[in-house]
Every structure is written in C-alpha cells, then in structure tokens.
Amino acid sequence: MISEELSQAWYDDGFVILRDVIPQDMRDLLAVGIEKAMGNPGPTSKEYAEEGKGRFFTDHHMRRRVDEFQQFLDQSPVRELGAQLMRTKKLNLFDEHLLVKEPGTDNPTYWHQDLPYYELAGTQIISLWMPLDPVSADSGAVSFVRGSHRWGKLYQPIKIGLGNLVEEAEVFDGPAPDIAGEPEKYDIVTFDEMQPGDCLAFQAAVLHYAAPNTTQSTRRRALSVRFAGDDVTWQPRPYIPSVPDTPDLVAGGPLDSEQYPVVWTAT
C-alpha cells in the first residue's frame, strides 16, 4: 500500500497525506463510537471552548470503554499503514486521541509537538489523523512545519486548545517558537482540502497546528491513532496529562505491556 518514496517523505518531512485509505464502513463504525464517547466522557476528556462558542472536545484511550474504537483498530487498515510508513517490524499501540471541533469553535489547536506529552523516547512514533467530515481552511485544517521533527528540540507542553503552558510539565527546551506570529520564517504546509477517508500521518516531534472551526454547520470530528515502532523505549516523565496509568516498565526498555500492547508484527 505504501511506497518506499512515501515512507521516506514521512521520515524527511515529518508528515504525509494518504488519500482515500479508510473505508466507509470503518468510518461509519467510528462515527457511532464517537457519539458514544462524547456522550460518556472518560477521565482524560477535556472541553476547551467557552460556553456558547462551539465545542472543542478531546479524549484519549476510548477503546478501553467504547467497543467501536477497538473494532476500528482491529478491522481498519491503520496498523498496516503505520507499520509500512515507519518500516517497522513491530507496532505498539499507545493512544487514540479524539479531537472534535463543532461549528462555531474559535479555539485553534495551538502549535505544539506531541512527543513531550508521551512517556516515550525514539523516532518511530506515528499519529494517523483521520477526519470523519470534509476539512477546509475554516473548519479546522491541520498545518505542519516541514522538517521540524529533525531540529533536535523538545518544547514544553501547552494546553492545546488554550495555548497556555502546562506548568506541571517538564520545561524541556522551553516554549515552542511563535510560529503563528512569524509564519514567514517557517516552511508551513497546510492540508485544507481533506475528505473523510483521507489520513494525515505525522511524526511525534513535528510541530503542528489546527485552525478553528468557524463554519456554521460543518463538524470536524477527527481521530488520531498512535503507534510506536522498533526504536521506541519507555521514558517515564513526572507529569503527563493524558497518561494517568503508571505501567510496570523499565526506563529505556521495551514498551510491551497491557498499557502499550503489541498490535502488529511483521510475518
């Protein structure tokens, strides 16, 4: 499914777009799961929008309580896509992140990297971001700074829907640069024409952003499924908002565990 050139582009740029790779029946399954998850938010769920100004809902690890997410992970092509893009022999699932921006939501998803939010070290860490609605510039399109995953920097986590720093988190290399304030300084690529079935695959250290959803009636439901590959080890951190569990793992050792299950191996 994935050519060597595309895989190399993922390594070089930090992201690629895959068109029409998630079948309709899998999207229908996910749509049911999303409504259940939003109707019964889990312990890591967040609401970022102000009262009366749309809704920006996020949550993690939905497969643990909503069966449709587990079915989606088992039956959709996401594992093959992740493994082939990273050219890895093994995949550990470590998160599913639901990000729903309802019409009239002013909040952007502020520029950030994902890696400082994970208890992981390594480079073969991928998010597969899949929208269930058409995505345009004004409904929450995602942008990346090309190559920023190779800057060798880790920036302090922010609250992604509010923009302020997570004070409890590690400082790492300090706050991310002001990309929104000085966009001309960066090689920004925006995917402002996406259809349900398309998928953005990006590396954990690449800087990314998503626009507000200022449309009147277009939802922007998206799921980011996250896998770690061969070179990834467990890196405990003092504070990670989306990882409430403390797995019985060794720092610098393999992830394989109930929390980070092996979900794919090369045959």
Q: Which is nearer to ligand AKG, 189 or 254 (CB)?
A: 189
Q: What are phi and psi of 193, to 5 degrees?
A: -140, 90
Q: Which is nearer to ligand AKG, 165 or 254 (CB)?
A: 165
The SS3 call for residue 211 is coil
Least distance to ligand AKG, CB of residue 119, Å: 16
Contact 127, 201 (CB under 8 A): yes
Least distance to ligand AKG, CB of residue 58, Å: 8
Least distance to ligand AKG, CB of residue 213, Å: 9
List of residues 6+ apart from 255 with CB closer than 8 A: 92, 94, 120, 228, 232, 233, 234, 249
Other Cβ atoms within 10 Å of 128 Cβ, number: 24
Quote the CA–CA distance of 241 and 40 in Å, as a whole number.
Answer: 19
SS3 content of the chain, % helix, strand, coil (to 5): 20, 30, 50
Burial class (CB in 10 A: 0-12, 13-18, 19+), 226: buried
Least distance to ligand AKG, CB of residue 230, Å: 22
Least distance to ligand AKG, CB of residue 267, Å: 29
Q: Which is nearer to ligand AKG, 142 or 255 (CB)?
A: 142
Q: Which is nearer to ligand AKG, 159 or 254 (CB)?
A: 159
Positions in the binding site for ligand AKG (CB under 6 A): 97, 99, 109, 114, 127, 129, 140, 142, 160, 208, 210, 222, 224
Least distance to ligand AKG, CB of residue 163, Å: 13
Q: Which is nearer to ligand AKG, 205 or 255 (CB)?
A: 205
The SS3 call for residue 75 is helix
Q: Which is nearer to ligand AKG, 13 or 114 (CB)?
A: 114
The SS3 call for residue 71 is helix
Quote the CA–CA distance of 26 and 19 in Å, as a whole number.
Answer: 15
Report the DSSP beta bridge partners of residue 262. 92
Q: Which is nearer to ligand AKG, 79 or 101 (CB)?
A: 101
Closest CA to 144 of 228, 203, 224: 203
Q: How wide is the angle at C-alpha 37 spanned by C-alphas 114 and 195, nearest 5°?
A: 65
Least distance to ligand AKG, CB of residue 161, Å: 8
In this chain, which residue has its C-beta nearest to ligand AKG? 210
